[in-house]
Amino acid sequence: MSIATKSASALDLHVHRFVPATAPGRPPLLLLHGTGGDETDLIGLGQALSPGSALLSPRGNVLEGRAPRFFRRLAEGVLDQDDVRRRAGDLAAFVGAAREEYGIAAPVALGFSNGANIAAALLQLHPGVLAGAVLLRAMVPLTDRPAPVQTLGRTPVLIVAGDADPIMPQGDPEKLATILVTAGADVTLRTVTAGHGLVQADLALAAAFLARLS
């Protein structure tokens, strides 16, 4: 496992960790933590869900108090739309630089909460950056989005929502699924018995989804 310290590159946009692949054929994962996490937060989860995959794990660049995030929010459930767009662009550039530096294919995002939201924004704003996505507790990141166009070319996406999630706006998982389907993605939406935190059912669904991409 390495912490990169390259200079004069889009790789510098995020402090991150990279774990090389040990199993040929496993998709590389882009690990995107929730509020308060960092570049170490989802390494163990990525290894458990897709053993042998290359892991690329950036830290969010926005601080809410002392808690890292991938973009600003104005209040609980109210996202800063301009910052979502800016940070998604930075993350797209980072992924491109990391692919060149580490010699990996387009990654599959594995995102939780704030990390799932920035992954959803990447899918909408920068199609082609991700080869797929697992969105755990994602909400609609762009309320001022333009009408979707068919740009995602059957990109596989798994959305897993909690049926008692107190943070999630009512109906957002279904809205997000519709947005991504309209943009051409192949979306699977599942709801588990849970709040905002992850449960074993989330992990089982994510592992099965990632195994199908190998």
Q: Which positions are annotated as active-site residues?
A: 113, 165, 196
From the number of C-beta atoms within 10 Å of its C-beta (0-12, 13-18, 19+), residue 134 rates as buried
Taking a C-beta distance cutoff of 8 angstroms, is the pair 117, 168 a contact?
A: no
Taking a C-beta distance cutoff of 8 angstroms, is the pair 162, 192 a contact?
A: yes
Rounded CA-CA distance 76/101 in Å is: 36
Tokens matching residue 117: 């939201």
Rounded CA-CA distance 165/197 in Å is: 8
Tokens matching residue 127: 């199609």
E strand spans, the chain: 2-3, 16-19, 29-32, 55-58, 62-64, 67-69, 73-75, 78-79, 108-112, 132-136, 156-162, 186-192
